[in-house]
Structure 1
Amino acid sequence: MSKYEYRPLPEGSIRLLRIEPNTDQGAPIECKVLVCPVLNSGRTSLYEALSYVWGSQEKRRSIRIGGHEFPVGENLFSALLALRDPHLDRIVWIDAICINQEDNTEKGYQVQTMARVYAQARGVVVWLGAGTLNASKAI
């Protein structure tokens, strides 16, 4: 399977990730990238932003974006599994995927828009990691 290749973003745009549904938790995570303008209206949009700990990038897992392979860290992989709905698409903004981390120019611009991206999201999902036996005691 070929590796996912980023396309340049039009000025004033962001990428969003559509996580495709699957009733089988063991099925590969299939996604599509959507390109959308960053809105200046101050209204919320129909996507969620994910805030999470990147964690170690040593153990990589693979998801599929538009039929192409895309490596992600273990913590992001477990977040995507938890976010995937069995029946409905879910649209999210995730910095590690929606920003081309290998393009410093794009990264610089996109980091400047992050406050707007979070502010315009329908909600922000915070992922601290997969639960443990004692996690409920912390909450």
Structure 2
Amino acid sequence: MNKTYVLDGYAITVVIDKGLVRITNDEALKSVAADQPLTFAERLVDLIRADYQKVYGKTLAISRLSFIVEIDGHLYVEYCLLKYSMLFWVIFPFGLYNRFRRSCEVIDCGERGRDPNRWLWDRLVPLRGWLGRRLAKAKTTN
């Protein structure tokens, strides 16, 4: 299911499949993240989870906080990759830098079995506040 969510006037494009959500990381997503860095992901996740429940008749098996952390994490990693690109070109040679950049273009959030990184985002949940503050600071220093 293709869905567009409007947050603060920005159209966020999302594809919802069984067990997997793909969020397009475009200028609209970056803009709403810059305007509301501490709350936009919460609102977006709540809208996606509600639609998933309606379409599939069950709750998406990704915890709300893990989902939020994954969105914030992808945005912050992309910010760092762009801001410190020369450094990361050296740290991630042989095309790894470009691979990491491409992986930030669409934020794939999946249930266990569909997303090999689910364990990582689940483990990063305790760092949610820190990550949100880093993202907010990153967006205000652009």
More helix by share: 2
More strand by share: 1
TM-score, structure 1 normalization? 0.28
TM-score, structure 2 normalization? 0.28
